[in-house]
Amino acid sequence: MSTPLFEHVCLRQVDGVVVIDMISRDIQGPDRAKAFIAELMAVVENDEPTPILLNLRRAVHFSSMGYAALFKLVKYAKERQRPVRFCNMHEDVKVGSDIVGLPLVVGIDDCEEAALKALALA
């Protein structure tokens, strides 16, 4: 897998899973959210049918558009039959995700190891 350079995320592979690591601490405002969405869509649109894990360990703030980007990632991954999970969600991000209902559409694990294990069983 070629590894494009992004502003908000970086990619790696672990046991056949594309791991998207957040490198930005926040996704707030329309410009940052649009760039973030574009980066996530570039990963999902890759032809490889591998599962996706979004590791949010560095993210501490999301605007409503940031949460919309997360929903869009889940929607497009599922449309392409690519299992997707999130992990390492900061407590403040988790509160927001609970409010907007993100756990209703995607599995969210406390750590990367648990998420990788869940994806292996999917």
pLDDT digit string (tens) for 76-88?
Answer: 999 999 999 999 9
Structure tokens at 7: 């502003």
Domain holding 111: CATH number?
3.30.750.24
**Long-range interactions of 35-40: CB distance < 8 A, separation 24+:** 35/7, 35/8, 36/8, 36/9, 36/66, 36/69, 37/68, 37/69, 37/72, 39/6, 39/7, 39/8, 39/9, 40/9, 40/69, 40/72, 40/73
78 part of a folded domain: yes
| Domain region containing 114 | 9-121
pLDDT digit string (tens) for 40-98?
Answer: 999 998 767 899 999 999 999 999 999 999 999 999 999 999 999 999 999 999 999 99
3 part of a folded domain: no
| Domain count of the fold of the chain | 1
